[in-house]
Amino acid sequence: MAEQEVMVLYAPQVSMFSRVCSIVAEEAGVSWRLQATGTGTKEAGQHHPFLRTPAATIDGVEFYETLAITSYLDSKYNNRALQPADAEAGARCLQWVGVASHYVFPILEERLVLPRLVAPLMGRQPNEQMISEALPNIAYHLRVVEQRLAQTPFLAGPDVSLADIFMYGNIDAALMTPEGAEMVAALPAMTAWHKKIGARPSCLATKWPNPEDLLNAD
């Protein structure tokens, strides 16, 4: 008998937040599929009132926003393994989910990943000035994360949490750029943390294609 599909994820095929949702689905051991949906499209509006992505149908129930999707999956199917029960660790988890979503993501996505990786896929030249001007700010954001990871094995404390999954999506995308790879290589705690998180089966199963492969695709 075929495994019952638990989640339909409405998101672009290459998206940091959709990858976070898919990693958590893999962590929870649930079946899922991606229905490629562009942000700002009419189809996105059928699932998200602000035409954003990702959104998801899980157990026949509609959800939107990555934290809602991932916390539901983890709570119902993973015994809340990625959401610390300890009060401080739980607060730290939410703190670093917020940092990943609202501080690290915008600077990395808009000023490095999009202009360096996505622009060539669309037939445009990278905006070198934008990237160059953003690098000091990007380095600062990465150092803040490095300082935390130098103090504790994972962002919320001793155990992997949603915070690590959210941050991993950002850092893994940045590592696909030469600038991001160079900056992360200079951060030993982040490098070790990224290796540990990236070795998890959930991350291996949801790995993005190499940008060079996309560029060379027929």
What gap in Å lies between CA 97 and CA 155, rounded to an integer?
9
Position 215 scores a pLDDT of 47
8 A C-beta contact, residue 159 and residue 166: no
Q: In percent, how much of the chain has pLDDT > 70?
A: 95
A 10 A CB-CB count for 155 gives 27
Question: Which regions of the chain carry the CATH code 1.20.1050.10?
Answer: 87-205
Question: Taking each helix axis from N to C terminus, what angle separates 128-149 and 178-185, rounded to the nearest 10 degrees?
Answer: 30
CATH 3.40.30.10 domain locations along the chain = 7-77
Per-residue pLDDT tens over the stretch 17-29? 999 999 999 999 9
Q: What is the pTM of this model?
A: 0.94
Does pLDDT of 1 surpass 70? no
Mean pLDDT of the chain: 94
CATH of 7-77, one of 3.40.50.300, 3.40.1160.10, 3.40.30.10, 1.10.150.120: 3.40.30.10
140: exposed, middle or buried (Cβ count in 10 Å: 0-12, 13-18, 19+): exposed
Decide if domain 87-205 falls under CATH 1.20.1250.20. Answer: no
